[in-house]
Amino acid sequence: MTSKRTTALVAVAVLLIVEVLGIVASLVWGFHSRSDASETTVSDSNRSAAVAAAEQFALRMDDFQAPSAEQYESRIEEMLTTKGKADFAQVKSVIGQVFTATQPTAKQSAAGTKAPTGRIVYSGVSDIDSDSATVLVAHDAGVNGSNQSLHFRWTVTLKKIGKTWLVDDLPPEVSGSQAQ
């Protein structure tokens, strides 16, 4: 009888251990699944915000309808990190010349011609983590006085400062540097 009782106690102990392990495993799996879901949501949110910032940067670069070169430059600088602003300061004189060249003549203005703007063709994240992203942006900018467009394909490098994505490295076409 003692051996039957011992066997029964061992069986009950094994069942309890298996049940406890099952509960622990389901709790760990459930916690892990919820944490994966929240990371995906944060990542999706970061991804969308980074793409929106890169697109906005490209559109601001293409929008020459500001009342002055200074206002055009100011709208762009709002989207730059400190490093990006330092890089942009080096090309401001060229940017000012481009702005002036894109403005319609008095005759064109009288005919209803406006300075060119841009449109996003495609954008997508190349690389992203919690505080940095690389976004590819394809955009077209109108050419003043014609039906032609300039086609740009930029790699925009962003940094997240606080909750805001800002452009950290200017694309080579803007900075005048050689493409890597």
Share of the chain above pLDDT 70, in %: 70
pLDDT of residue 21: 60
Q: What is the mean pLDDT of residues 42-56?
A: 88
Cα dist from 98 to 62, 106, 132, whole Å: 11, 17, 30
pLDDT of residue 35: 44
Q: Is the pLDDT of residue 89 over 80?
A: yes
- The residues spanned by each domain of the chain are 2-175
Q: What is the mean pLDDT of residues 72-84?
A: 95
Instruction: Provide the pLDDT confidence category of residue 74 given band limits of 50, 70 and 90.
Output: very high
Q: Are 139 and 88 in contact (CB under 8 A)?
A: no
What order do you get walking across the sheet with 118-128 strand by strand? 118-128, 132-142, 149-161, 164-169
pTM exceeds 0.75: no
Q: Is the pLDDT of residue 18 over 90?
A: no
Instruction: Tell me the CATH number for domain 2-175.
Output: 3.10.450.100
Q: Dihedrals φ, ψ of 11, to 5°?
A: -65, -45
- Mode of pairing for the β-strands spanning 118-128 and 164-169: unpaired
pLDDT of residue 85: 95
**pLDDT mean across residues, the chain:** 79
Instruction: Provide the pLDDT confidence category of residue 135 given band limits of 50, 70 and 90.
Output: very high
Q: Is the pLDDT of residue 96 over 90?
A: no
Q: Is the pLDDT of residue 144 over 90?
A: no
- Of 15-24, 27-36, 74-83, 168-177, the one with minimum mean pLDDT is 27-36
Q: What is the mean pLDDT of residues 97-117?
A: 74
- Cβ-based neighbours of 102, under 8 Å, separated by 6 or more: 64, 115, 116, 144
Q: What is the mean pLDDT of residues 57-77?
A: 90
Whole-number Å distance between alpha carbons of 25 and 23: 5
